[in-house]
Amino acid sequence: MSFEDNVKMHFDELSENDKEIVRYLQQNMADAINSSIIELGEATLSSKSTVLRLAKKLGFRGFSDLKFQLEQDYKADKIIPTDLEQQLHHDIDKTFAYSHQINFQPLIEAIHDASNVYIYPTGFSQQNFAREFSNDLLIAGKKNYLLDGTTNFDRITRKLNQNDFVIVVSLSGNTPSIKNSIKMLNFRKVPFCSITEFSRNYLSEHANYQLFYEASVIPTAEPGDEMSSMTSLPIILGILSRKYREFVLFDE
């Protein structure tokens, strides 16, 4: 996960002083990767301990870990995709890199232990990818229900309990029409997992479990018009379904 992604995930936990240091790192990345923790503290008018606490708030093991990620991001920024194939490669690589940094086990166990699993995709493309994911879970022996339509999702959420589990597959994670349903899940203490693009969004902030994927913007035939590519969504769904199957076959 990139430095920017870590900042998005933990932004609400940062103090104003933390945010000032983050802005310095974003604007002076080349200098930061060549600075010691003491030098960085001096440059940001803060202390060594403040910088170290910030690194840990952002999910890094320490300052060296943070600086290594900054260096990787700095190198990546120098390699700008020159065509859509390279952009596709970048999206897939970033999603796989993210998947290597997270622990799937608690999510897998929650899916396995649930009495009923419900999968709700928020759009047409998400529906297509979610259908294959649903089939993968069935093949692995986990019965699940693929929901279609906001009305159906709203009705179902009013009947669920703590023994059920919901997976919401989205792009932005900010679909207005399902916010009341998400509030109902929280009210009824129904555990759920959000799967969205890398961003701070409503779904991930209210979910018990979160997964993310890279969704880059690509041009369309209409001048000035753009769309988000969800090519990496089936990647993260495929990783989750395979890890679930591994759990059932080898770890259960």
CATH number reported for the structural domain that contains residue 110 in this entry: 3.40.50.10490
* CATH code at position 31: 1.10.10.10
Residue 94 forms part of a structural domain: no
Q: What is the pTM of this model?
A: 0.70
Is 97 part of any domain?
Answer: no
154 assigned to some structural domain: yes
- Cross-sheet strand order for the sheet of 209-213: 144-146, 116-121, 164-169, 192-197, 209-213
Domain count, the chain: 2
- 153 with 235, same domain: the answer is yes
Are 31 and 134 contained in the same domain? no
User: Residue 50 is which amino acid?
Assistant: T
pLDDT for the residue numbered 239? 97
Residues 70 and 137 in one domain: no
**pLDDT (0 to 100) of residue 86:** 83
β pairing state of 217-219 and 226-228: antiparallel
Give the chain's mean pLDDT.
89
Residues 50 and 120 in one domain: no
pLDDT at 31: 87
Whether the per-residue pLDDT at 238 is higher than 70: the answer is yes
DSSP codes of every residue in 9-26: HHGGG--HHHHHHHHHHH
Same domain for 109 and 73: no
Tell me which residue range forms the domain holding 168: 105-251
Nearest CA to 185 among 211, 167, 212? 167
Q: How far is CA 52 from the centre of its chain?
A: 24
Q: Looking at the predicted structure, is the pLDDT value of residue 137 above 70?
A: yes
**DSSP code for 1:** -
Closest by alpha carbon to 101, among 58, 54, 130?
58
| Percent of the chain predicted with pLDDT > 70 | 93
Is there a single domain that holds both residue 238 and residue 164? Answer: yes
User: 224 pLDDT band (50/70/90 cuts)?
Assistant: low
Same domain, 109 and 73: no
Residue range 67-71: average pLDDT? Answer: 88
What is the rounded end-to-end Cα distance, in angstroms, of the chain?
Answer: 29
Q: Considering the chain, what percentage of its residues have pLDDT values greater than 90?
A: 56
Query: Between the ranges 81-95, 116-130, 208-222, where is the mean pLDDT highest?
Result: 116-130
Quickly state the pLDDT bin for 71 (edges 50, 70, 90): confident
Q: Please state the rounded mean pLDDT for residues 191-210.
A: 93
Does residue 60 sit within a domain?
yes
Q: Select from 63, 79, 95 the last residue of a domain.
A: 79
Asked if the structure places residue 55 within a domain, the reply is yes
Structural domain contains residue 114: yes
Q: Stretch 51-57: mean pLDDT, rounded?
A: 91
Band the pLDDT of 225: cuts 50, 70, 90. low
pLDDT of residue 223 exceeding 60: no
Nearest to 230 by CA among 78, 120, 150, 121: 121
Q: Does residue 218 surpass a pLDDT of 80?
A: no
What tens digit of pLDDT does each residue of 142-157 get? 999 999 999 999 999 9
| Angle between helices 63-77 and 48-57 in degrees, nearest 10 | 70
If asked whether residues 122 and 234 sit together in one domain, one would say yes
* Residue 98 located in a structural domain: no
82, pLDDT greater than 70 = no
113 with 75, same domain: the answer is no
Segment 4-50, tens digit of pLDDT:
888 888 887 889 899 999 989 988 888 888 889 999 888 898 998 99
User: Which of 45-49, 60-64, 76-80, 163-167 is the least confident region?
Assistant: 76-80
In a domain, 88, yes or no: no
Task: Please tell me whether residues 137 and 246 are part of one structural domain.
Answer: yes
- Give the model's confidence band at 248: pLDDT under 50 very low, under 70 low, under 90 confident, else very high: very high
